[in-house]
Structure 1
Amino acid sequence: MRLDIDPRRLVVQPGAPATFVATVTNTSALIAGYSVRVLGADPSWVRLDEPELRLFPDETSAVVVTLTLPEGVPAGERRVALQVRDLADDGAIAVQDVVLDVPPAPRTSLKLDPPTVTAGAAAVFSVLVHNEGNTQQVGRVVARDPEAATAFTFQPPSFSIPPGQSMTLALQARARRPFVGDPRMRPFELRFDGPSAPPADAPPAAAGVFVQKPRFARGMLALLGLLLALTTFAVVVTIALSSVVGRSAADRDLALQVAQARNQQAATGTSALSGSVTDLSTGAGVGDVSVEAFGDDPAEPILTTATTDDGTFVLAQLPAGEYTLRVRGAGFDETWYPAAPTQGDAQPVPVQTGQSVTDLTVLVGGVPATLAGTVTGTDVAGAILTVELPLDTGPLAGTPPEQGEAPAVPTSGAVVRTVPVGAEGTFEIADLPSPGVYDLVVAKDGFVSSVQRVDVAAGEDRTGVRLALVQGDGSIAGSVTGFSGPVAGATVTATSGQVVVETVSLTQDEVGSFVLRGLPTPAAYTVVVSADGYAPATLNLTLTQAQALTGVAVVLGRDEATLGGLVSVAGGKADGVDVTVTDGALTLQTVTQSTDPVGRWSLSGLRVPSTYTVTFSRGDLESQVLSVSIDAFGNVTAGASSATSVDVTMRPATASIYGVVLQPPVQDADPEPVGNVRVTVSSGSEQRVVYTASTPAGEVGSYVVDGLEPGTYTVTFSRAGTRATSEIVVLAAAQREPVSPTLVAPARIQGKVTYAGGAVGDGLAVLLYRASEYGTAAGPVATTTTDDKGRYDFDDVDAPENYLIEVRVTTDGSVLATSAPLTLGPSEQPVVNIVIRST
């Protein structure tokens, strides 16, 4: 029996069927039946079109084996074995390996729990990462929001997850909290980042929303608007306030009431209320305002006191009961605890006998203010003026505001108001909450942003504010070169926030040079240089005030590279070799050509710079792997002599044993080729069995065992009637090892037949029987006739076996004599003489 498999190595995608063909040849002289099965694979994965074969001598049949590996089978090399067994001889087994290459199929899913979180400055999510692929997944999760206003932190920052397992990451989202207004929706998306990350334009793996609550909700804004409206109305019907120093008669009366409240004391009671009054705009405590406690009578306060300089108050010696608190002061609107415009909207504060209720906070707002002024510059039309609450002072920083002007640099505080600047440069901002500290930011594309900090008193009407809008005074100059020299016509773009300035490199004179002018400073710029046929380059540059940066050298590499070479095969042709080039993210494939020059290959479209793994493979050859590094100019820096000389020499992947088995027909005769000798090649659990040829005459005794993996093998030759012989053979890859043994002569029985009187038994029939079959219907295994000297000879007798010899006049005649039973061992040649006695 001979077994051949094609191909011996194949790529199997989980879930997709893959086939190979096993060819079985009956090398025996008898009709034989064979069973075919696949070892090392679940039976449900395997389908055989012919699980059993019945072959005539020298007949060949092909069995198509289809393997379908289930999803989730780990990536890598997997071995299975095809076994063919002779149904009539349990020892006649042929086994050959098939190598299955399961390619990596990375797949990662992300699940955000919960998908939406409502919080203040920071929110916490859980991210479940599940490895749905068949290979170890290493990477990290990244989060992006469209406004780029949220910072994301993952713990742990990266992961390594085996196939089929999961891991939970803690995600913290943090953003600058809105000061006032509606809750802000901050949507974001999650993506997987790693060697097997999906392309950038693929849908996100998960999405979530961080709902950020403001420090003061819209209801508070409505209250503030109402307070401002009331204050504005009061200002219109009374005297316009030019500064916080001027006070109305009502304010003076209120101040007197505050002074009287300092001396007022409750008559009875053991309870107390205490807290603070805070300016809504500045976050600072408000001193010298009255705090009144109302009980059952909403018209008359039970007790009145005044806040200290830091805004704290204490209402002591109160009877047990339920109270509403009113706060009034010069320059501030009347407010009920905690921030209500009327007593009906106030929140009652219950107090028990002897109880002290502390930490009561009342928010009050000042009367509105107005700012007006002029923006100066060469072209102020279209400029935007933004009023911001600064982050380094005031309520957003939790510290009292400082006096003075801010440095002339852009800020990113909480936006309070945005107004356009007219062509003449004038602006006016009305109904501005006061008192407060604000940053006035004027900006326009192509100009330097200007910032001025103002401290606005309650109800102040300030004019004459002047802001300057200056044309961009910075520049960046340099040159662009590539792999063949200066690059003309390259696009150079500088970006900083909303500012975008673009130019191209010169095409004559100083070819490749460029200058970006009119850049606002100070600022940080991202400069992108691109040109056809080149990979883009990105630089991060920072300009100080009015800086002219020169000498910027930009070197552009190739946008892609090409690798190629020649594959040769020792003693064979190199066409049809698979060539795979990959750097982990990009994978390209080709095959070597079959036309002249045979074995040539080439692949273009490779990204640079990068390091590529180049794999050469063919089913009948040993795979070879090279690591080739390419720089930004497409030149090979390691792994090969050049980009067009990535050459390899391949050799056959398996070894073989062959030869001719000889045996003398009888002892001391010359050996000659002999057929039907069983040749067994074994190594560990692997075993291959073939038989030497018996036809045609020119190939008798020859055999071949191919497809052997490099290693150490025991080769055993056995034939009926002959002692077996063995040899140990060490095979290297692609080795063809000749093994041609000479077997000892086969078993033989010979002797002489005589009569009891000494006469020679000439021409008598001699029959050889198996002892176990003697006396049954079974006939003799061999028959011969004595010569004129009474001698007989049975050559090439099966052994070991028990025999009995019979002598007759003729084959069908009466029995003259019978020998004693004879035990014959392999290659034994006993002499058995038989005497015919008279009857």
Structure 2
Amino acid sequence: MSAVHAVTFPHHVEVEPGQGGFISVAITNTADVIDAYSVQVFGLDPTWVEVSPERVSLFPGDTANIDVRVHLPLDYPASQRTITINVVSDDDPTAFNLSNVQLVVAPSAETSIALDPTMVTGSRVATFGIVITNTGNAVASARPFAIDPEDLAEFTFDPPTVIVPPGRDQVVRVTAKGGRAWFGQIRARTFTFGVESDTAGSAAGLTESVTVETIGTFLQRPRIGRWLISLLGLLTAAVVFAAVLSRTFDRVVEQASVTDELIDAALESGEAGGAVVPSNPATVTGTLTSATSTQGLAGMQAELFVSDDTTTPVASAVTDDAGSFSLSSLGEGRYKLKLSGAGLAALWYPAAPTPDDAQEIEVALGQELTLDPVAVGGLPVEVTGKIDADNPLDLAGVTITLVAAGETDPEADALVATVDVAPDGSFTLPDIPSPGSYQLLVEKPGFATERRDVTLGPGQSLDDLELALRPGNGIISGSISESNGSALGGVAISATDGTTTVETVSLTDGAEGTFRVRDLPTPGQYTVTISKPGYLTETRSVALTEGQEIGNLTARLVPATGSISGRSTVSGVPEQGLTVTLTGADLVRRTAVVSQGLAAGSYGFVGLPAPGTYTLTFTGPDVIPQVRVVDLDPFRGTTDIGGIDVSLSPESTTVQGIVNAVGGGPATQATVTLSDGATTRTFLTADDPAGRFQFSNVKPGAYTLTASQIGTDPVVVLVNVTATSATPNLNLQLGAQASLSGRVDGFDPAAQSVTLRLFDPAQFPNGVAVATVETDAGGNYTFTSLEAQKVFVVAVYASATAADPLDSVSIETEPSIDKPVPPFTVTLP
């Protein structure tokens, strides 16, 4: 028998969120020695529970009270749950007492609203949004409404009712229309918007209603605004004024005559060069570009003259950054255009040196005339310089070529000028258009081609260019292959010494992968760059002596892409819905894991830039995500990495076990509950296999597992569920069921038996008995498997058919205890 007896009061506690509830625990020391006791509360966060005093010390037979105060947070959801009060002994770990208390968390109706927008300007219809926020602890059913004090507007709500979970928002769209005036100013109309919300509690089906309101404004325009009335007034005034003027001018015309010369003079205002701008003027636009490039010339001047007077311009403009100009406010007539600017030779449109040779531009009223682009050659300048050679005899046959920038083919139309170098190495390129960008080429067979970029400003000559002539008899050759040794064609090879750059491509046919870079000036120090898309670029430093040829340059290009592959399963088994997300190297890719067939569980990513570091995230429904980091490093030979295998763990697991009765046998039809404080699940132990229970799909967390049977003290176990490890089989041992035992005296039990019946007090003596037993040969009897802490009536009868009891007694059962019934002494008829 337990050395402690505890009674909790009340068994049913209602708690308001944010407020406290009290439970009193009466503890009696039933041991023969002094002992100390403390109280534990299972099923609640320990920070929500306050026990006072924390510990009591009792003499044998003494009783003391410990108060338990429960304080729940404001956001705790409305619910009804069972908590367990455990009284434990300090001296005897086997001495404890468990009792259950029903904790009812009342619903808290806290609803607020906001209007977005609070003010709307419109004509007939205005749309508002009511943002409903549930700050309570229970689900709220909200019904929006609106009130127009003038009772003119009609309101439509979408949706008409919303369900708002605790801590969440919902938006209702409200459309107000109607009540629009015909005339007047914008009218401010004030509406009252509100929400009536019902919050249903979990206890007794209680429902609490809350109404909240706010104000919105509709600035409504009239059908006919003041501006339209004003316009009609102005039009009326204009008509009256026009009628008055008409009658007045009729009288003037009758008294005066207008000559043809006067009319002609008045019409001349729309002619070319007229001092008065016509009502529908013309516009002339155009573009100036450099003759040596397609770029526009900025800051140039465009002047427009009347054809028969080229001394005074009637319009002028300056070109913008794109070389465009615009001449506006022009009358009808014939014009000539002059283009000029700093460093440019003036010309007349389109390319005449004098106005007499210029093309006439005919302009009509209202026309927007766009001229053809004009290429302005600019003032001719000279480009001079000198070639330096180690041997003066090498200067013979050297050619200087000037081409437009970006063009290196002398046979192309971009050729500007060419000249042979003088015996002393000097050269002069006359009449070079400026401004312009060019490329100067120094060429001679057997020597490297020297290239120099030349930029000329408007009218700017370029003097004293110094160029070197170097023998171009250096050669670098070799072969390119892949990292696996196979020949690789189409590889770009570039050799540069900082001044001269020569490029080539490795062969794709014949001697695939081989290359030969020719005409390299020697001596020289060259940087050779070897590149191809999809491979890592390599650079080599090569020194060439006079006339040297290097023919053994080899390179193996490492692929600059890689792959990652592996398998993803759930506890080693392929499942549907698994995905792998790859991030890194500015990439985000996602692929599904194969769920069926021979490749079930596999995944792969190819064409990944390398080197690179990638993060793989493995996810799926109801599983715990996992992350792997993979490095692709071509220099270490880790570009294609496989075997990145991940076994995901289910996000939920199973809690299972067996409930045993007194004597070690399984307890069938025992009640097992699993609770995390918010949700409680119940299971009846099975008949086959006997005593077994199982809760599946249990999320990770801390749970209280309680097993009970009629007439027994509940057995409580704390279970910590983790997704990464399975919960072991639990073995719960119940105590004995409550029972009543007694003896009947006053007759010979060996010769006959008497009948005892067990009644609910409300059914005694004429109702249906809960149980019936007969005395044994010693006059003893027992009622088993009884409900604990319940009052019964035990009655003795002369026989199984007797209707009137010989004697009876009331007695209360105790959990897991065979409680003795006071003996009966009867006299049989």
TM-score by length of 2: 0.41
Larger RCO: 1 or 2 (CA < 8 Å, sep 6+)? 1
TM-score by length of 1: 0.41
